[in-house]
Amino acid sequence: MKKTILTFFLLFSFGLFAQQSDSLSKKSNFIISPEVLLGITAEANSYFPDHGLQSQAIVSFGWEHDNNPQEWAHRLKGPRTGISIGYTDFGNTENLGSAISVLPFIEFNAFKSKKLTIQVGTGASYFTKKYDPITNPNNEAVTTDFTWSFKLFSHYSVFSTNKIDWRAGIGYSHHSNGHTRLPNQGFNSFLIGVSADIKNNSKPTFYSEENKPIFLDNRYSYFAIRTGLGVQTLGKAFNDKKGVYAFSGEYGRVYNNTYKVGVGMYYRFYRHYYDYMTNNESLVQDGREFDSFKENPTWSASNLGVFVTGEVLLNHFGINLQIGFNIHKPAYNIDWRINQGWDVVPRVIPENSAIVLGEFDTKFKLKKHISSRLGLKYYIIGTRKSPQHNFFIGANLNANLGQADYTELSFGYVHSFSFKKEKPLSTK
């Protein structure tokens, strides 16, 4: 699954380049940006290995879309898109190792200024060292070879020439495996650095008065259905990967072929929860706290919820964020009891034992009821054509209020309704 997701991110990144071939002029700015970063890696757990400063070396390849004639580039005020390939040393090669990361990214101008930008990237990383209960027990940050990676950075242009733009940067990076194996504390780092944007000499022409196109404000409604296959693990004593099967439907609107907003419902079935009940594990045995779950294990292992979703459309590609509310997710109670008590809760939990289980506090209520979802999509037909019928594939990380729940690959269908054009967009 992780290798498939890494392949998806690579295709996503190179696709961002490929889709420009029919729309960018020869004066488009292709940029190569070497970057060096230093920072602090937060301790992931008690007795975390001693380590020095984190250091990163990154090379980014990207397009500046100032003169991209596609509507999304104009609506987003000429962002930069591309791919970053980086090497990270976490300050202790023996226990923490290093990581090689591949992250597609998008970078926006902040406060209408080209000097200050915000960059968001989501991708995958390969780690050279990971947790091992015998040889590396104190590194609970990473348990798998491949992880999700996320970065949020701000860059400021300090000095510019015709060919190089020197920038200072500050930001945050995160690595975790999406709850596919435990422990999964993840790496969280805060970094500062410098970079050099090496570009051609062409000047943006898209926003000049003589070349600036006129787009009509537009909107249309859509309906979408999606099915997904995810993987997760239940706990340290149940650390094998099992499936999460998801289906959802949503309805919403697309504005100016760029901004997509919708509402919907989802259904999910967790195989780990179902097997815990049908195998008559400790907490569902007769007379125990959750024995009633066995009366209908399929329903008890199900999750039903509603959500709001937002997406930025980049023709063939989409960046999606979803916030949901779980109406029904009873088996999460078992999940919480097992994972929020002792560091390692054993598989067999005797009655009236001294084993400490998770308490149903306010934190539990928030995580049980609030879900989130972040991911990338690839649309078979470019959304700039506003096709009536379209299909997409996606890679997503699903979470319980920010805490990883499962990693998912999805496939979906979108039906678009009548297209409505309004007044011309002002060119002043």
**DSSP for 317-335, written as a single string:** EEEEEEEEEEEE-TTHHHH
Q: Are 144 and 180 in contact (CB under 8 A)?
A: yes
pLDDT number for residue 161: 85
pLDDT number for residue 199: 79
Q: pLDDT tens for the chain, 428 residues: list them.
A: 655 555 555 555 555 555 544 444 444 578 999 999 999 999 999 899 999 999 999 999 998 888 788 889 889 988 999 999 999 999 999 999 999 999 999 999 887 777 899 999 999 999 999 999 999 999 999 999 999 999 999 999 999 888 899 999 999 999 999 999 999 889 999 999 999 999 775 555 444 445 567 788 889 999 999 999 999 999 999 999 999 999 999 999 999 999 999 999 999 999 999 999 999 999 999 999 999 999 999 999 999 999 999 999 999 999 999 999 999 999 999 999 999 988 889 999 998 888 999 999 999 999 999 999 999 999 999 998 889 999 999 999 999 988 899 999 999 999 999 765 555 444 43
**Cα 240 to chain centroid, rounded:** 23
- Which amino acid is located at 13 in the chain? S
CATH architecture of 2-199: Beta Barrel (2.40)
Q: Are 203 and 263 in contact (CB under 8 A)?
A: no
pLDDT number for residue 112: 74
Q: Are 196 and 165 in contact (CB under 8 A)?
A: yes
pLDDT number for residue 77: 86
CATH number of the domain at 216-424, please? 2.40.160.20
For the chain, give every residue range classified as CATH 2.40.160.20: 2-199, 216-424
What's the rounded Cα separation, in Å, for the pair 93 and 71?
46
- pTM for the whole thing? 0.87
Q: Are 361 and 340 in contact (CB under 8 A)?
A: no
Question: DSSP letter at 41?
Answer: E
pLDDT number for residue 24: 46
For the record, the structure tokens of 296 come out as 């209908």
pLDDT number for residue 335: 96
pLDDT number for residue 23: 47
What's the rounded Cα separation, in Å, for the pair 268 and 248?
9
pLDDT number for residue 28: 56
3-state secondary structure of 203: coil
The alpha carbon torsion through 99, 104, 109, 110 (nearest 10 deg) reads -50
What's the rounded Cα separation, in Å, for the pair 305 and 348?
31
pLDDT number for residue 349: 94
3-state secondary structure of 75: helix
Question: DSSP letter at 284?
Answer: G
Termini Cα distance of the chain:
49
For the record, the structure tokens of 4 come out as 């498939």
List 149's β-bridge partners, or say none. 123, 175
Pairing of strands 146-160, 164-176: antiparallel
Gyration radius of the chain's alpha carbons: 24
pLDDT number for residue 107: 94
Place of tokens 């860059």: 155
Q: Are 95 and 136 in contact (CB under 8 A)?
A: yes
pLDDT number for residue 397: 93
Place of tokens 């308490």: 359
List 333's β-bridge partners, or say none. none
Strands (E), 271-369: 302-314, 317-328
